[in-house]
Chains A and B, each alone.
Chain A
């Protein structure tokens, strides 16, 4: 038997329950698939003869200065927690079920604003670095933009992302509603260590306080260790200046750390010997545990994954081939492995990871699947390079608890949920959110 034939044979062998196929079948072997799939899900009807559509027979619109998506993509938007502009905080969630790849377009990057979006004139904005330094310094945006820069991919995730998953009953909501407070972009800016080298650091400094220019002067304490590791003053997001909702004209970027610590509209960094115990660190983002105590300084967004395609809100159009795909990420480093199940966790197969697999960034995983039309439960589980594994929901709840009754889908009953998400497919192709 030739190598090609062996591979073809192996590729089509189910590797786990309910029709999961070896991930190697995805890599450049579409022909083998197409051949093998003949007859599966085919209607037998012949294709309509092709002809020119109207747009092929007239000159199109003129090229605009700033391009926006096709009018047929108007449904691809963020969902809002405060659509009526009430006088309070507002959230916008990323539509992961309508996107693919690993980069979140800037217009769709999630955003949370506790006191609205400040309208900052970059010419007037300043960043002050002071406290336990040898020489306090003040930077203009222009001066920072002249400093040596770095670029990196990094996901940003609200500590409260996936909060509906704490519900004692599965909330029927899309991946956007459940997990839309995480996004991933290429960030460009000046490493904080570059600026600290310039101010000099008093050895007594152990933390720094970061503060924004918003009306809350939102403030968080960060270990100085992180400041010298990979902290960045980000000026650019996917190649263009930051979006207002993501911190224009500059934000702190702490790759892998809780979104709220990545202070937007950054105007002040103060080096100190201890944490300030600001409201957001000592109240809001301290997580209550079932025994009444609470975690403090959680910081890390732990290893996590969820399936985006197919997911709640979609429906399968009959038996046949589907590519299961989703996102995996870890604040502790690179994703090492993603396993996918189609039978609710009874059996798993390893998914293909789209290269490049970067630390503290989205990794897209893919899994070929032949659905036979019977009920199935899809779930994904990720491992990172540090050996950390995404917990099952049962494992997670045993430690962290769950609510006594279902919370509102926009509520934040608790934070830092990173366990599995499961989608149940029924015989008609409908998709529900289940705990499995």
Chain B
């Protein structure tokens, strides 16, 4: 027993020694310090900013900022890689995925427009403009009505048509 307990003590000591000493090289910050970078938006709407927009307002922004690559009404791809955003059928494994036929969450639309679009001048649209373009694209896909305004309250409540058609590939890895 004596030998065994010595062994256990030695193991605990070894484990303690092997545990990395936190290097203490990060600079403490507050969430306010990071706020300008924190553009994450969750499917439940967490992170959505103030602002609102309607499909009609969005149509005007879209014509100025989006149509050059995504086509007049979002149903075609004008620039290479700028796939259509509206309509389309999922009828084959190589089908083009659009907001209407594939996206599971409307927050994804707002998030990607705000973080990455327009391609040549990302993060230049106002929050109202992002809400408006989101509303325009949701209406063009017949997911909301032509007069439905989109804001932080309504966006996460939009039920996307394809939401329930996903299978988690490896649940044990989550």
* Of B23, B79, B90, the contact of A292 (CB 8 Å cutoff): B90
Q: Which residues does chain A contribute within 8 Å of B168, judged by CB atoms?
A: 295-297
Q: Which residues does chain B contribute within 8 Å of A270, judged by CB atoms?
A: 38, 40
A267 to B112, CA, bound (A): 17
Q: Which residues does chain A contribute within 8 Å of B79, judged by CB atoms?
A: 87-88
Interface string of A256-278 (1 = CB under 8 A from B): 00000000000110101011111
Interface string of A396-418 (1 = CB under 8 A from B): 00001111100100010110000
Establish whether residues A277 and B22, one from each chain, have CB atoms under 8 Å apart when the complex forms: no
Chain A, Cβ-Cβ closest to B41: A276
Number of interface residues of A (CB under 8 A): 70
The segment from A48-56, A67-75, A136-144, A335-343 found at the interface with B is: A136-144
Establish whether residues A272 and B40, one from each chain, have CB atoms under 8 Å apart when the complex forms: yes
A166 to B93, CA, bound (A): 9
Within 8 Å of chain B (Cβ to Cβ): is A298?
yes
* Of A137, A268, A299, the contact of B26 (CB 8 Å cutoff): A137
Establish whether residues B23 and A194, one from each chain, have CB atoms under 8 Å apart when the complex forms: yes
Establish whether residues A136 and B94, one from each chain, have CB atoms under 8 Å apart when the complex forms: no
Within 8 Å of chain A (Cβ to Cβ): is B107?
yes
Within 8 Å of chain B (Cβ to Cβ): is A282?
yes
* Of A198, A277, A279, the contact of B24 (CB 8 Å cutoff): A198
Secondary structure call for the B interface:
loop
A123-145 contacts to B, CB under 8 A, are 128-130, 135-140, 143-144
Within 8 Å of chain B (Cβ to Cβ): is A300?
yes
Interface string of B1-42 (1 = CB under 8 A from A): 000000000000000000011111111111101100111111
A143 to B173, CA, bound (A): 31
Q: Which residues does chain B contribute within 8 Å of A283, judged by CB atoms?
A: 97, 102-103, 108
Establish whether residues A276 and B37, one from each chain, have CB atoms under 8 Å apart when the complex forms: no
Within 8 Å of chain A (Cβ to Cβ): is B158?
no
Within 8 Å of chain A (Cβ to Cβ): is B87?
no
Q: Which residues does chain A contribute within 8 Å of B41, judged by CB atoms?
A: 276
* Of B81, B119, B167, the contact of A296 (CB 8 Å cutoff): B167
Q: Which residues of chain A have a CB within 8 Å of any CB of chain B?
A: 86-89, 115, 128-130, 135-140, 143-144, 146-148, 166, 194-195, 197-199, 209, 211, 215-219, 223, 225-226, 267-268, 270, 272, 274-279, 282-284, 286, 288-290, 292-300, 400-404, 407, 411, 413-414
